[in-house]
Amino acid sequence: MTHNTHGLIRENASAILILQRLIDPIVTVLMLFIIAWVYDLAIETPHLVLSITTFLLMLPVFKGVGLYRPYRNLSPTTLGPRLLSGWVILLGTLLFLGYLTQTSLNFSRALLLTWAICVPLVLLTIHLTIWQLLRTVRAAGKNQRSAVLAGINDVSYHLANQIQDSPELGIRLHGFFDGHTQELPGRFPGRRAIGPLEELPRYVREHNIDVVYIACTTEKEEVIATLIKELQDTTACVYFVPNILMFNLMNARSYELNGIPLIAVWEVPFSEIQYVLKRAIDIVLSVAAIAVLSPVMLLIAIAVKVTSPGPILFKQRRYGLNGQEILVYKFRSMKVMEDGGKVQQATKNDSRITPLGAILRKTSLDELPQFVNVLQGRMSLVGPRPHAVAHNEMYRKLISGYMLRHKVKPGITGWAQVNGLRGETDTLDKMQQRVNFDLEYLRNWSLSLDLQILVKTALVFLRDQNAY
């Protein structure tokens, strides 16, 4: 790439950033005028003052919430929340100023409400359109950024593979630098490192490299410090890539603690707002389920009582959120009530299961009382299935990451269950597979995934042959 071409790309990128910052206030002000025209309202001095104030405040507010970072580093899941939070802050500021100046009464309530609802929808559509357009342009080989990797190891290979598999990122990887010019394995056969780490700064300057990813191991602390110091004499963006591949990451995010960067290895997979939405869905659907299924539950309760001696409900201690013990309810399906230090799992043709219990377990009707657990807040409709305390204490010692399942509430159904892992786990491998699915659920959690699991659950339970 020539120096002129490289400079042109930088100019185009700068033009995109400027355009990105101008579109939002211009569109927002235009929408105010258009909505006023739709409502047949005259544009008067208060409207002009509101327009100017909005235009001036929007840039610092939206920039403050991180909306104006390069599109290359953003995704739809971050664009939406940032834009919405910025708009809410801006609206709150405008309302506060209107209250202080006693000018809010000069505006039509219908105008302001329509404007408040339509602006974020239109802006989000514009941002997503530009975001997708730029991805298409970069995938076609335009608006590229050149990059090099410092270090040859699993982390740098993984990052290089991600770059190679994602042309829409628009990153053209020149190659690797390391302490020796060894041949690269895997997807880079026949290629060798460009040179030792000491030559990287000179290469960056001579080839106008845009980005340097430092993926050296921590043993090379002095080399890394020297490298970063010398790279200050270049205009490249420098990123340090920590070796987090060794961990079983769960919804990893980055944070700051008084300026100290932090990377979450394990944490709760959803935000407070998402938790409230998930809890609201749990309450609404569990109330509806109990209301609809109450006649069936009453008939089952009577049948359990008259067909075998013992209580109607089986209450067992299991681990819930954060590993706290909870009582989980089921219709009794066995002649025994095991809840001690040793609990034997149900097996095929288990003599402890009553005739009615076999039907209940096969159809999962024995789990209907767990809708009450959901209303109590002990469980969720969807989440990792809770196991008996005795089983938890055994498997937590045998399976790495087992207790991470308890970062969320246990569920009546889960990702493992709709993927065929339901019923007896008579081998360690089966339990490992179930835990793997549970951790995958936590890493990829979303409300849409919960709804997808609920829909699949009915189909799985109707044809499943593993429950006994």
* Averaged pLDDT for residues 30-40: 92
Burial level of 2, CB count in 10 A (0-12/13-18/19+)? Answer: exposed
Q: DSSP 3-state helix, strand, coil percentages of the chain (rounded to 5)?
A: 55, 10, 30
Which neighbouring-strand residues pair with 260? Answer: 257
130 and 71 Cβ atoms separated by less than 8 Å = yes
- CATH code assigned to 145-246: 3.40.50.720
> Going by C-beta distance under 8 Å and a sequence separation of 6 or more, which residues neighbour residue 71?
16, 20, 130, 131, 134
Whether the predicted pLDDT of 337 surpasses 80: no
- Closest CA relative to residue 178, chosen from 157, 199, 155: 199
Q: Where in the chain is the domain with CATH 3.40.50.720?
A: 145-246
Q: Torsion angle of alpha carbons 367, 369, 374, 377, nearest 10°? A: -120
pLDDT in tens, 403-448: 888 888 999 999 998 888 776 666 788 888 999 999 889 888 888 8
* Token pair belonging to 319: 């681990």
Angle between helices 45-64 and 76-101 in degrees, nearest 10: 140
User: In the prediction, which pLDDT does 247 show?
Assistant: 58
Higher pLDDT: 215 or 180? It is 215
C-alpha distances in angstroms, 264 versus 75, 247, 363?
19, 11, 40
Whether the predicted pLDDT of 38 surpasses 50: yes
Whether the predicted pLDDT of 188 surpasses 90: no
Higher pLDDT: 8 or 58? It is 58
* Averaged pLDDT for residues 37-56: 90
* Averaged pLDDT for residues 200-228: 84
User: In the prediction, which pLDDT does 117 show?
Assistant: 93
User: In the prediction, which pLDDT does 301 show?
Assistant: 93
User: In the prediction, which pLDDT does 396 show?
Assistant: 86
- Closest CA relative to residue 57, chosen from 96, 15, 19: 96
196 and 178 Cβ atoms separated by less than 8 Å = yes
- Is the full-model pTM beyond 0.85? no
Q: How confident is the model at residue 157 (pLDDT cuts 50, 70, 90)?
A: confident
* Averaged pLDDT for residues 320-325: 86
Whether the predicted pLDDT of 142 surpasses 70: yes
pLDDT in tens, 275-299: 888 999 999 999 999 999 999 999 9
Collapse the DSSP code of 449 into the 3-class scheme (helix H, G, I; strand E, B; otherwise coil) and give the result. helix
Strands (E), 361-439: 380-382, 411-413
pLDDT in tens, 217-238: 766 778 788 888 888 888 788 8
